[in-house]
Amino acid sequence: MMKLGLLGNSVANSLSPSIFERLFNLHQIQGSYTLFERNEFHAEALLDFFHLHQLCGLNVTMPFKSDFIHSLNKVDDSAQLIGAINTIVLEHGELVGYNTDYHGIQKSLSVLGSPQSALIFGTGGASKAVQKVLKDMDVSFLVVGRSGGDYTFKSLPDDIAAQSKWWINCTPVGFEGHSEDLLPLPFGILNKEFAIFDLVYKPTITPLMKKGLNAGAAVLGGELMLTEQANKAWDYFHAAYYNKM
C-alpha cells in the first residue's frame, strides 16, 4: 500500500487528498493520503515520522518548506537553488527533497498572458519558487513582505506597484478560514493591463482576485498550480514506491 501525506499548518481544507485519490484510482494502486496538522515540527524527527506512519512520500507546506531543506539526506538541484522543498520521498532508506511547486507555477504563469514585470507578495517557500521561475523566464520582479523583501507593504510606493503588471500572491492571506482577507495594497491602481496570480486555491475566487476582476484585470487562482505540482510529486512518489517493492 502506498502511504502518502501532507504536513503543515492549516491543512484541514486541502484539496490534496482528492487529487491523490484520483491518482491512486488512475494507476490502480491501493493507497492513502493523510493530513498531518502541525504548527511546529523538529526536522530531525522526519525519518522516524516516515517509519512511524509507514510513509512512502510526504508533501510539505507552510511553515516547513524552507526549514526542512537542511535536514534531508539529499536535495534535488532545482530545489537547492530555490532554497525550499515541498515534496519528500523515502528512497533506499534516505530522505530526498524536491520542489514541485516550480512545475506548478511554471504551468500557471504560461496561461496568464505575456510576461510582465512582477510584484511577489510573501517571502516564504512558495515565493522562492516563484522567484526562480521568473528568473528563468527573464522576468524582472520585486518582493514585498511584512518585514523583508525589496519593500514592505507599508513602504511600497504606488508608482512601483503601478509599473509591475503581474501581481503574485504567495501568502495565505485570503485562504478560506484565514483571519485576513486582503493584503494592504493600492488596489485603486489596478486596471485591465494587470494580471493577478493568487496561489490561494480556496475559495476559487479569492478576495484579491475579486479586486482584480472588478478592475478588469486577468486573474488566476491556485488550483491549476496545486494540481500540476501534485502530478509532478506523484512521479517521484510512484517511482519510490516501486523501487522499494
Above 70 in pLDDT, residue 183? yes
Task: Pick 178 or 15 by higher pLDDT.
Answer: 15
* Domains by residue range for the chain, with CATH: 2-100+225-243 (3.40.50.10860), 103-224 (3.40.50.720)
65 is catalytic: yes
State residue 148's pLDDT score.
86
Task: Identify each DSSP E strand in the chain by its residue range.
Answer: 2-8, 31-37, 57-60, 74-75, 87-91, 94-98, 118-121, 141-145, 151-152, 166-169, 195-198, 218-220
Task: Pick 13 or 53 by higher pLDDT.
Answer: 53
Q: CB atoms < 10 A from the CB of 33, how many?
A: 21
State residue 245's pLDDT score.
55
Above 90 in pLDDT, residue 182? yes
Taking residues 108-129, report their average pLDDT.
94
State residue 99's pLDDT score.
97
Helix or strand (DSSP H, E) at 108: helix 101-109
Reported as a single tens digit per residue, the pLDDT across 213-240 is 999 999 999 999 999 999 999 999 999 9
**Catalytic residue (one of 65, 128, 132, 232):** 65
The percentage of the chain sitting over the pLDDT mark of 90, rounded to a whole number, equals 88
Cβ proximity of 120 and 170 under 8 Å: yes
Q: What is the mean pLDDT of the chain?
A: 95
